[in-house]
Amino acid sequence: MPSWDHEDCDPAIDFEHTRLYRMMDRLEPIILEGQQDTAVRRAIDILSRRMTEHFRIEEELFTTADWDSRTVMKDDHRRLLTMLKALSDIPPADADARRSLFTSFLEALQRHDSDVDAPLFRMHH
Protein backbone atom coordinates (compact mmCIF):
# COMPACT_ATOMS: atom_id res chain seq x y z
CA MET A 1 0.00 0.00 0.00
CA PRO A 2 1.57 3.31 -1.03
CA SER A 3 1.78 6.15 1.44
CA TRP A 4 3.05 9.70 1.18
CA ASP A 5 6.07 10.21 3.39
CA HIS A 6 8.32 12.87 1.96
CA GLU A 7 10.15 15.61 3.81
CA ASP A 8 10.11 19.27 2.95
CA CYS A 9 7.22 19.35 0.51
CA ASP A 10 4.76 22.08 -0.25
CA PRO A 11 2.05 21.74 2.47
CA ALA A 12 -0.77 21.82 -0.10
CA ILE A 13 0.83 18.86 -1.87
CA ASP A 14 1.35 17.00 1.42
CA PHE A 15 -2.29 17.52 2.29
CA GLU A 16 -3.57 16.46 -1.13
CA HIS A 17 -1.53 13.21 -1.05
CA THR A 18 -2.60 12.42 2.50
CA ARG A 19 -6.24 12.77 1.43
CA LEU A 20 -5.67 10.71 -1.72
CA TYR A 21 -4.07 7.83 0.16
CA ARG A 22 -6.73 7.84 2.82
CA MET A 23 -9.23 7.12 0.05
CA MET A 24 -6.89 4.57 -1.54
CA ASP A 25 -6.76 2.70 1.78
CA ARG A 26 -10.50 2.13 1.50
CA LEU A 27 -10.56 1.27 -2.22
CA GLU A 28 -7.54 -1.05 -2.34
CA PRO A 29 -9.12 -4.07 -0.56
CA ILE A 30 -12.24 -3.79 -2.72
CA ILE A 31 -10.25 -3.69 -5.96
CA LEU A 32 -7.96 -6.54 -4.85
CA GLU A 33 -10.39 -8.83 -3.05
CA GLY A 34 -13.89 -7.62 -3.92
CA GLN A 35 -16.32 -10.42 -4.70
CA GLN A 36 -19.08 -8.33 -6.24
CA ASP A 37 -18.53 -7.09 -9.79
CA THR A 38 -20.53 -3.91 -9.24
CA ALA A 39 -18.60 -2.98 -6.09
CA VAL A 40 -15.24 -3.59 -7.82
CA ARG A 41 -16.33 -1.64 -10.88
CA ARG A 42 -17.51 1.27 -8.74
CA ALA A 43 -14.25 1.32 -6.76
CA ILE A 44 -12.17 1.46 -9.96
CA ASP A 45 -14.41 4.19 -11.29
CA ILE A 46 -14.14 6.28 -8.11
CA LEU A 47 -10.37 5.82 -8.09
CA SER A 48 -10.03 6.84 -11.77
CA ARG A 49 -12.00 10.02 -11.20
CA ARG A 50 -10.10 10.87 -8.03
CA MET A 51 -6.71 10.29 -9.71
CA THR A 52 -7.74 12.50 -12.64
CA GLU A 53 -8.60 15.22 -10.13
CA HIS A 54 -5.34 14.66 -8.20
CA PHE A 55 -3.22 15.06 -11.34
CA ARG A 56 -5.16 18.17 -12.38
CA ILE A 57 -4.50 19.72 -8.95
CA GLU A 58 -0.78 18.95 -9.20
CA GLU A 59 -0.48 20.32 -12.70
CA GLU A 60 -2.23 23.50 -11.59
CA LEU A 61 -0.02 23.88 -8.52
CA PHE A 62 3.14 23.29 -10.53
CA THR A 63 3.38 26.83 -11.78
CA THR A 64 7.06 26.96 -12.58
CA ALA A 65 8.51 27.84 -15.93
CA ASP A 66 10.42 24.55 -15.90
CA TRP A 67 8.79 23.08 -18.99
CA ASP A 68 10.91 19.93 -19.11
CA SER A 69 9.85 18.89 -15.61
CA ARG A 70 6.29 19.80 -16.45
CA THR A 71 6.38 17.53 -19.49
CA VAL A 72 7.85 14.65 -17.47
CA MET A 73 5.12 15.09 -14.87
CA LYS A 74 2.29 15.25 -17.40
CA ASP A 75 3.55 12.24 -19.39
CA ASP A 76 3.77 10.22 -16.19
CA HIS A 77 0.25 11.26 -15.18
CA ARG A 78 -1.07 10.23 -18.59
CA ARG A 79 0.65 6.84 -18.34
CA LEU A 80 -0.84 6.21 -14.89
CA LEU A 81 -4.34 7.11 -16.10
CA THR A 82 -3.89 4.78 -19.08
CA MET A 83 -3.17 1.96 -16.60
CA LEU A 84 -6.42 2.73 -14.79
CA LYS A 85 -8.32 2.75 -18.07
CA ALA A 86 -6.88 -0.70 -18.85
CA LEU A 87 -7.85 -1.80 -15.34
CA SER A 88 -11.46 -0.81 -15.93
CA ASP A 89 -11.45 -2.71 -19.25
CA ILE A 90 -10.50 -6.04 -17.63
CA PRO A 91 -13.51 -8.39 -17.59
CA PRO A 92 -14.86 -8.74 -14.01
CA ALA A 93 -14.31 -12.52 -14.04
CA ASP A 94 -10.56 -12.08 -14.53
CA ALA A 95 -9.65 -11.25 -10.94
CA ASP A 96 -6.01 -12.34 -11.38
CA ALA A 97 -5.41 -9.90 -14.23
CA ARG A 98 -7.09 -7.15 -12.23
CA ARG A 99 -4.95 -7.82 -9.13
CA SER A 100 -1.77 -7.95 -11.12
CA LEU A 101 -2.43 -4.72 -13.04
CA PHE A 102 -3.59 -2.87 -9.93
CA THR A 103 -0.44 -3.96 -8.07
CA SER A 104 1.67 -2.65 -10.96
CA PHE A 105 -0.29 0.59 -10.87
CA LEU A 106 0.40 1.05 -7.14
CA GLU A 107 4.11 0.42 -7.71
CA ALA A 108 4.21 2.89 -10.60
CA LEU A 109 2.36 5.46 -8.51
CA GLN A 110 4.80 5.01 -5.62
CA ARG A 111 7.71 5.50 -8.03
CA HIS A 112 6.05 8.59 -9.48
CA ASP A 113 5.63 10.04 -5.97
CA SER A 114 9.24 9.62 -5.00
CA ASP A 115 10.88 10.35 -8.38
CA VAL A 116 8.62 13.12 -9.69
CA ASP A 117 6.15 14.66 -7.23
CA ALA A 118 8.33 14.79 -4.13
CA PRO A 119 11.38 16.40 -5.82
CA LEU A 120 9.31 18.81 -7.94
CA PHE A 121 7.27 20.06 -5.00
CA ARG A 122 10.14 20.26 -2.52
CA MET A 123 10.23 23.58 -0.69
CA HIS A 124 13.24 25.70 -1.48
CA HIS A 125 14.67 27.38 1.56
CB of 59 to Fe ion, least distance (A): 8
CB of 13 to Fe ion, least distance (A): 7
CB of 38 to Fe ion, least distance (A): 28
CB of 68 to Fe ion, least distance (A): 15
Q: Which residues in this chain contact Fe ion in the complex, by CB under 5 A? A: 58, 117
Our CB check for Fe ion shows the closer of 51 and 90 to be: 51
- φ/ψ of 73, rounded to 5, equals -60, -50
Long-range pairs for 64-72 at CB < 8 Å and ≥24 separation?
A: 69/120, 72/116
- Rounded CA-CA distance 2/25 in Å is 9
Contact call for residues 87 and 102 (beta carbons, < 8 A)? yes
Give the CA count within 13 Å in the CB-facing half-sphere of 80.
27
Contact call for residues 82 and 67 (beta carbons, < 8 A)? no
Our CB check for Fe ion shows the closer of 28 and 117 to be: 117
Containing 53, the helix (H) or strand (E) segment is helix 37-61
Our CB check for Fe ion shows the closer of 78 and 97 to be: 78
Chain residue whose CB lies nearest Fe ion: 117
Our CB check for Fe ion shows the closer of 90 and 121 to be: 121
